[in-house]
Amino acid sequence: MRIAVVGATGMVGEIMLKVLAERNFPVTELIPVASEKSIGKEIEFNGKKYKVVGLQTAVDSKADIALFSAGGETSLEWAPKFAAAGTTVIDNSSAWRMDPTKKLVVPEINAGELTAADKIIANPNCSTIQMVLALAPLHKKYTIKRVIVSTYQSITGTGVKAVQQFENECAGIEGDMVYKYKINRNCIPQCDSFEANGYTKEEMKLVNETKKILSDNSIKVTATAVRVPVVGGHSEAVNVEFAHDFDVSEVRNILHHTDGITVQDNLDTYTYPMPRYAEGKNDVFVGRIRRDESQQNTLNMWIVADNLRKGAATNTIQIAEYLIEAKLV
């Protein structure tokens, strides 16, 4: 299994290499790919050293699978070239997510929709993945009518330059500003750029991707996405209105038996999800599960995940694992 990692020297690319090693992914040849300035650099994977190559060299290598984490413009230009060479692309950017001809996949929910003809597969947005993993089994049981989500998103979602800005601020060093404002001791109610309707791109990803993954355009979703001075992962306060009533203990039980979810919900021991403890883990953590007493058939949850793991690298690699298991590559 020849695997190309496009964006291998970036924050998500580095986590992809870690996750590939941790999960004993059957890599027979690794092809690390990055921008021109990184060509020729060496990276280490499973005790071997590999030289970083450029995009055209990687296309010509005809890898079995290419894991993309190099930004939307790169994906739009190069994913079709890899696909034309016979490589199956799993793309982490937003480039292909809402393309009606492309599958948007969270393996625990809808990997079964994939076929050998799917040569470009979209990985959802990090904040969407962790939310829909908890929503999917509850939608199946109670039918979701409306979701209200407020996110508390890690600076790692912006990238290494945002982490550097935060570290500089903590150390009292003047440096480059990725955000329009200081992030240390602050919350910025803007993730990504604003759209014409007053919502940010990140907020609209939560709206549109949720409907596509759950295959239900009738679900109403509204979102507020906030950047917070946290490194470990994204957190979300999620309010869900169902068509049918539910029992809170049954909700906990359903989530407890959902692959990829760890329920942390014990008020007696002050046990609930936090990004500090989600960092470096592949699961989505759900807690503060309680009835919304202001409205019928409505539930509140607190959902946390490492946005670089399940929100990006791990989900991508789980898609690749499914493709191999199902003999689609």
| Residues taking part in catalysis | 126, 234
Asked if residue 172 belongs to a known ligand binding site, the reply is no
Asked if residue 38 belongs to a known ligand binding site, the reply is yes
Burial of 313 (0-12, 13-18, 19+ CB in 10 A): buried
Asked if residue 110 belongs to a known ligand binding site, the reply is no
In the numeric block, the tokens 């596509």 are attached to 212
Asked if residue 37 belongs to a known ligand binding site, the reply is yes
Asked if residue 10 belongs to a known ligand binding site, the reply is yes
In the sheet with 298-305, reading across from the earlier edge strand, the strands are 220-227, 144-153, 234-242, 298-305, 284-291, 261-263
Asked if residue 290 belongs to a known ligand binding site, the reply is no
Asked if residue 227 belongs to a known ligand binding site, the reply is yes
What one-character-per-residue DSSP string does 183-233 give? -TT--BS-SS-B-TTS-BHHHHHHHHHHHHHTT-TT-EEEEEEEE-S-SS-
Rounded Cα–Cα distance for residues 175 and 120 (Å):
38
Rounded Cα–Cα distance for residues 199 and 225 (Å):
9
Asked if residue 18 belongs to a known ligand binding site, the reply is no
Asked if residue 185 belongs to a known ligand binding site, the reply is no
Pairing of strands 48-51, 261-263: unpaired
Asked if residue 74 belongs to a known ligand binding site, the reply is no
Binding-site entries for phosphate: 97
Binding-site entries for substrate: 153, 227
